[in-house]
């Protein structure tokens, strides 16, 4: 069987995470995230370039767990995909936006000190996690909160 891979994203939480509910009734985590960029110099040193900012969303039980676990400034690594969508801005113009939809997220072990709780999840928690894998991708018709183009 081939190795299963997905897109990944690493960065830091740049805004206070928000937990809301979608029109479908799904829990939604939203945060503006930052990515630091570097250029490697010929002598092996690095020069920091401009930090870029993007939208990160998670849904359902993963959103609830992420909201409880992450705060502004936390460094993370996430697995998921980029979702591109169109929306009308305040001037009635059609614009394109994008957000990273994380299916899994965790603190960046290279940049975070933490302890691990290895207590097995309850049966209810385990069944919720398995059910979320087959859930359909949420649809977007408006820009992510905080997007300005």
- CA atoms of 63 and 113, how far apart (whole Å): 22
DSSP state of 136: P
| Mean predicted confidence (pLDDT) in 37-51 | 96
Residue with more model confidence, 53 or 129: 53
Tens of pLDDT, residues 5-25: 999 999 999 999 999 999 999
* pLDDT tier, 117 (very low <50, low <70, confident <90, very high otherwise): confident
100 touches 81 (CB < 8 A): yes
Homologous superfamily, domain 7-133: Nucleic acid-binding proteins (2.40.50.140)
Domain boundaries, the chain: 7-133
Rg (CA), the chain: 17
DSSP state of 117: -
pLDDT, position 64: 96
| Mean predicted confidence (pLDDT) in 82-96 | 95
Asked if pLDDT for residue 137 goes beyond 50, the answer is no
77 touches 100 (CB < 8 A): no
């Amino acid at each position: 069987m081939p190795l299963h891979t997905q897109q990944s994203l690493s960065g830091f939480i740049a805004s206070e995470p928000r937990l809301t509910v979608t029109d479908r009734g799904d829990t939604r985590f939203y945060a503006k995230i930052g990515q630091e960029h570097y250029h490697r110099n010929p002598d092996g040193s690095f020069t920091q370039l401009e930090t870029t900012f993007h939208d990160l969303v998670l849904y359902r039980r993963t959103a609830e767990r992420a909201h409880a676990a992450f705060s502004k400034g936390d460094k993370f690594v996430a697995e998921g995909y980029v979702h591109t969508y169109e929306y009308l801005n305040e001037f009635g113009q059609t614009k394109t936006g994008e957000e990273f939809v994380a299916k899994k997220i965790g603190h960046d072990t290279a940049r975070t000190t933490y302890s691990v709780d290895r207590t097995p999840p309850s049966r209810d928690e385990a069944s919720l996690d398995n059910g979320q894998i087959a859930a359909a991708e949420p649809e977007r018709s408006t820009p992510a909160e905080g997007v300005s183009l």
